[in-house]
Structure 1
Amino acid sequence: MREFPPELLFEILLRLPPEDLLRCLCVSKAWNATIHDKTFIKSHLQRSIQTNSFGSLFVSATFPCNKCSFKFSDIYDDGTIERAMKIEQPPLQDAESGTPFPSALVSSNGIICIRTGLYEDDFVLWNPSIRKFKKIPSPTFEQSPSPDIHVYLGYGFGYDSTNGDYKLLGIANFNEAVHQCQIYSLKSNSWRKIRNMPCDEFHMIVSRILFSNGALSWLAQNMLDRKMHVVTFELATEKYHWFPTPVDENVQLEVLGDSQCIFRRLRTMDAWIMKEHGSWTLLYSIELPPMSRVNRWCLG
């Protein structure tokens, strides 16, 4: 192995899935050093994204007694999916310790961000492929401006490819015009305050914050004219952008591929996808049978 060209070894290891790389760590010190090298880790991630290799399906389910189960299933090149297998979980507090059940925020490049409480915000970053996890310190939001105002907390997790960093955005929404924003960086392993959104007349709907194409997105409603908007936050530049939605009632934000989508369900199921510069294109409009129609979706 000593005469094995380092460049060729790098290329061979680059094509292996994470579970095989774990086994290769024990081959030699040279192999171990190559796999742990930051350049190799970044190259392996980029190649996996570009070639759509080593795909997997993450499944989470919550059961009675606050028990949560996480499962993974590999997705093969031909699109077939094997049976989802239960995987070893990181050590999380459960109902017996008085902590609400854990919930997965989102998975980004195989890294899963888990919120381990509903009222006390503790987080864990978990990589089930290599069986490693990292506990994240809790954010320190300022106190509510009034004890009578309820605090709504929203979190979004994603990967900053420009800086090679995983980030977690936290938003404390006190009322229609008062909020605080903080961001966690895996590189620095710390939270810091960032510029708040310019939203004096907007109500932030931060119960669902989605990640796509390097940005986090959520819905906001203008309280003056009741118009709905999609707010995006670029993880690399930390800039906010606002885009009016194609419709303003009964809307739900989702992600399709790398694009934001707006769904509306009334007499029809309608879906729009966001193109460049905030323009929207109608994907489909399907007539619904009378029994499946609903009057309104919950926005908060």
Structure 2
Amino acid sequence: MLRRQLGRKLEALRKAAGLTMEKAAEDLDRARATLYRIESGAENVRFRAADVKEMLKLYGASDEDTELVLAMAAATRENKNWWHDYIGSGLPRWFQLYIGLEAAASNIRQYQAELVPGLLQTRAYAEQLFLMPSGAIEAEDRDGQERAIQLRVERQALLTRFSAPQLSVIINEAVLRRPVGSTTIMAEQLQQILKAAELPNVTVQVLTFSAGLHAGAMSGAFSILEFPRDGNGREVEPPVAYLEAATGAIYLDKSHETAAYNAIWADMAGRALNPSRSKSLIQQVAEEYSRA
């Protein structure tokens, strides 16, 4: 998130100076693509002090902005997040941004049509998923699979940390009914969901088959992440809608894009069982697996 904030700050300074991205790139003797990656806060960009100072000079930044931007750039070089250990094995590069945003979010909403959300999965359930063909990790890469599973487990500490985010989940009834692995794995997995739903910051709703057609039927699975506000009540980071595919992901942060997913969420939340009735259904299905 810090990288994205820094990139947006540099973009704002460039625009305030009346420079297009093409002109700024030319004056800085950089490729336009490089400047785009800088302003996007890309993970592979190093905000070197000399380069940042050159940009600030070109943009005519004030002393106050210069001090702020240089401090932010220094922080990106010093900060090494826990998930960086997984880069290159078990953590696709396109997923790195999501992990960082998830860790910084104050509110996470997720809809899943087929699978239990990663933050609620048991290790045994996750192991079954990584046995399936995937665009991110080769089936023969056992070490990569194990590291990806461990990453998924470690991410779940997010829910019980100090100042944990609010997690709201809507799952299709198919998530409960479709066996993943053995009946024992499914029974344990559904009990794990119920356990998580007891946390004060976690809400789970089930969208039953009887709800009929709903807006999520056309959108597929997605997440909406919202971030803390500063002392003046302003967003420090715009909300992001995240859509994942086998070999990549889409991050949508324009207001009309996130508004569309908020509308889809509102439709599904209104059709889904309330949290209490959802827990009852999950418990019922868990008992069915236990008896099978």
Name the structure, 1 or 2, with higher relative contact order (CA <8 Å, separation 6+).
2
TM band (smaller chain) = under 0.3
- Relative to the length of structure 1, the TM-score reads 0.26
Return the structure number with greater strand share: 1
- Relative to the length of structure 2, the TM-score reads 0.27
Return the structure number with greater helix share: 2
